[in-house]
Amino acid sequence: MKNTNKKLLNYSGLATTMLASASVNAQAVGVDLNPDVVLTPNSSPYSLDFNNDLTPDLNFAVQPISGSQTYQGFPFTYEGVIAGVAMPVGNGVLGIAGSGTGTGTGTSAPGSFTITALENGTPISASDAFGTSSQNALAADVVADGGALGTFPYTFGSFLEASYKFLGAKFQVGANTHYGWVQLSVTPGIESMIIHGYGYNQTPDAAINAGEGGSAAGLENVAVEDKVTFFTTLNNAKINVTPDLIGGELNLVSMSGQIVKTVKITDIETVITYDGIDTGIYSVNAKFESGSVNKKVYVK
């Protein structure tokens, strides 16, 4: 198999500087990354150090992949994007072994260890299964091109289009094992992976609940502007929202305050095009019951 990204995730260097505030609840320590860490295919990998001992425990990246392969005698090429996590020997991420289906658009890779996207409050402990591979996919969005056979989408990963879900983890400090969590979101098409915060139990071998430590944000406690992500081009504006904001409204507003186009938000991804709109500066207004978010755009 030829793969132009021979190493799916290539990590190096020590942890980047973390802009964070910490809080302690008993032996559970939570860190709210402020601002959130946003990774795209053009970003450098991000190294997370749970206990601030200058030893990276988990490494996150969003990377494009491409290559060629033959399946049952038929050659095809593929390209796409993967959101992944890598780790040193001894560390692991929580999931389920051997759960992959490998059929078209699914939730996991065939025969693989599938990382689980946890809800707030889910226990993380020694009783769970942890994958210890040095490189793991949290989400993947790939298209295979079989020439005359056509193109075939293939997506997998429990964190695909996840909003404020939790990754369970274990990491080693000397001879001791600690358990922790990382709160993540992954936008549609894996245009970005967002790391909101993390936490761990200071007591070796002691369990921790996802979000425990006081810093993880449930959707009900997150400001509306932090639930909305804008992507703009010369032809359209696209927004991604958390599921609780579905039902809102997306408006294109002129500088004079006139609404020139309206689109209902019926999914976590919504596009408003600039077709038929005069050249000028406009505001894209995402309006919800809990508030609104605006972004200036230029229509050519």
Q: Do both 132 and 244 map to the same domain? A: no
**Band of the pLDDT at 82, cuts 50, 70, 90?**
very high
Q: Which residues of 232-250 are buried (b: 16+ CB within 10 A; e: fewer)?
A: beeebbbbbbbebbeebeb
Q: Quick one: 155 and 265 in the same domain?
A: no
pLDDT at 201: 95
- Which pLDDT does position 17 carry in this prediction? 28
Query: What's the rounded Cα separation, in Å, for the pair 203 and 201?
Result: 5
How many beta carbons lie within 10 A of that of residue 125, not counting itself? Answer: 15
More confident residue, 140 or 231: 140
Question: For the whole prediction, is pTM greater than 0.85?
Answer: no
Give the Å distances, CA to CA, from 111 to 51, 96, 99, 134. 33, 11, 6, 17
| Contact present, 280 and 255 (Cβ < 8 Å) | yes
- Asked if 272 and 285 touch (Cβ cutoff 8 Å), the reply is no
Per the listing, tokens 């990276």 go with 56
- Assess whether 199 and 240 both reside in one domain: no
Q: Which residues pair with 33 in a beta bridge?
A: 20
Q: Domain check: are 95 and 154 in the same one?
A: yes
Residues 145-169: tens digit of each pLDDT: 888 777 888 888 999 988 889 999 9
pLDDT tens for residues 51-60? 999 999 999 9
Whether residues 231 and 279 share a domain: the answer is yes
What is the C-alpha separation between 229 and 40, in angstroms, rounded? 13
With CA atoms as reference, report the closest residue to 261 among 284, 292, 232: 284
6 has a pLDDT exceeding 50: no
For tokens 């769970």, name the residue.
128
Here the tokens at position 118 are 């946890």
Number of domains in the chain: 2
Q: Are residues 235 and 193 in the same domain?
A: no
Judgement on whether residues 201 and 233 belong to the same structural domain of the protein: no
Same domain, yes or no: 268 and 135:
no
Q: How many CB atoms lie within 10 A of CB 295?
A: 15
**d(C-alpha 230, C-alpha 89), whole Å:** 37
Q: Whole-angstrom Cα distance, residue 184 to residue 38?
A: 10
Cα separation, 81 vs 253, in Å, equals 33
What average pLDDT does this structure show over 129-137?
Answer: 87
Contact 32, 198 (CB under 8 A): no
**Coil, strand or helix at 188:** helix
| 185-242 residue pLDDT tens | 998 889 999 999 999 999 999 999 998 885 444 555 567 887 788 888 888 888 888 7
- CATH number at 274 reads 2.60.40.3080
Residue that terminates a domain, selected from 195, 221, 247: 221
Arithmetic mean of pLDDT over the chain: 82
Give strand pairing partners of 197.
32, 183
Q: In a 10 Å sphere around its CB, with 0-12 CB exposed, 13-18 middle and 19+ buried, how is residue 214 labelled?
A: middle
pLDDT value, residue 226: 73
Same domain, 44 and 144: yes
Structural domain boundaries, residue 169 = 2-221
Q: What is the three-class DSSP state of 246?
A: coil
Last residue of a domain, one of 201, 221, 241: 221
DSSP assignment string, 146-183: -GGG-EEEEEE-TTTT-SSEEEEEEEEETTEEEEEEEE
Report residue 233: phi and psi, to 5°.
Answer: -130, -175
